[in-house]
Amino acid sequence: MDWIGFYDFKHSVIYVNARHRDVHYRTIAEDLRVHVPSPNARVLDYGCGEATSAALLADACGHLTMVEAAPNVRAALKARYEANPKISVMTPEEAAALPPASFDLIVMHSVAQYLSAAELDRLLGVFHRLVKPDGVVLIGDIVPPSFAAPAAAIALLRFGLANGFFWAAVGGLIRILVSDYFQLKKTHGLSHYEEAAMLDRLRTAGYAPERAAHNIGHNQRRMTFLARPVTAR
């Protein structure tokens, strides 16, 4: 099993219950709406996951294209949003084949930690081709190397306390200790970046980057970066 396989199946490690899942995605959608540049903007959400509140984001833009590598998750997305003309669902390969300058905003949230440095660099190149010259690439939920796991646990408990699933969150933290998560972390690893290192990586990929004041989602020890293309690739 790899990370895509892990996230392709429903279990109580990713989200401790349905309320956690739905509040999680609603928070992300509400945070992302702030970054949509205009009501007509074309937005790409790469590695969107279950995205149960994608309609909130779609309402704020002209069209939302969601990209998901996990086949079961992608099939569920297509079924959920097939009646919404403002939402499309694609594979990563389909998205990579789109014409240059297709999007005003490209989002990749809480994905970079599951990619190697080389995989991240490749995607930054794909996004550079797909984003408009005056567009923005948003890379969210970058995990710093120090105290990543304790910070994530504390953030989840606080999120659960604020949204009515605290004890389920406690149980979820216990379940993760005996799940496949730690074995995958050992065999496939997670990528962590300091702020300066991520800024340098984005500059090397041809962007003018900055760290956003607020991370997308509930964990404010993680980081979101806004990157604007500055060179042709």
Cα distance between residue 201 and residue 197, in whole Å: 6
Q: How far is CA 29 from CA 26, 174, 208, 212, 229, in A?
A: 5, 28, 24, 16, 24
Backbone phi, psi, residue 212, to 5°: -70, 150
Q: Would you give the DSSP letter of residue 111? A: -
Give the number of C-alpha atoms closer than 13 A to the C-alpha of residue 7, restricted to the C-beta side. Answer: 17
Cα distance between residue 120 and residue 108, in whole Å: 10
Q: What is the pLDDT of residues 38-52, one digit of tens each?
A: 999 999 999 999 999
Instruction: Please report the beta strands in 77-219, taking only residues with DSSP state E, as ranges in sequence order.
Output: 87-90, 103-109, 131-142, 207-211
**Collapsed DSSP state (helix, strand, coil) of residue 69:** coil
Per the structure block, which two tokens stand in for 222? 């993680």
Can you give the pLDDT at residue 11?
A: 59
CB within 8 A of 140, min separation 6: which ones? 107, 108, 109, 110, 215, 216, 217, 222, 224, 225
CB within 8 A of 74, min separation 6: which ones? 68, 89, 91
- The closest of 63, 74, 130, 128 to 98, measured between CA atoms, is 130
Q: What is the pLDDT of residues 104-119, one digit of tens each?
A: 999 999 999 999 999 9
Structural domain spans, the chain = 3-229
Cα distance between residue 182 and residue 164, in whole Å: 27
Three-state secondary structure string covering 208-229? EEEECCCCCCCCCCCEEEEEEE
Q: What is the pTM of this model?
A: 0.88
Can you give the pLDDT at residue 147?
A: 65
Task: Give pLDDT < 50 ranges for the chain.
Answer: 233
> Which CATH superfamily, name and number, covers 3-229?
Vaccinia Virus protein VP39 (3.40.50.150)
Can you give the pLDDT at residue 192?
A: 93
In the chain, % helix, strand, coil (3-state, to 5) comes to 45, 20, 35
Concatenating the DSSP letter of every residue in 13-61 gives: TT-SSHHHHHHHHHHHHHHHHTT---TT-EEEEET-TT-TTHHHHHHTS
Q: What is the pLDDT of residues 90-101, one digit of tens each?
A: 999 999 999 999
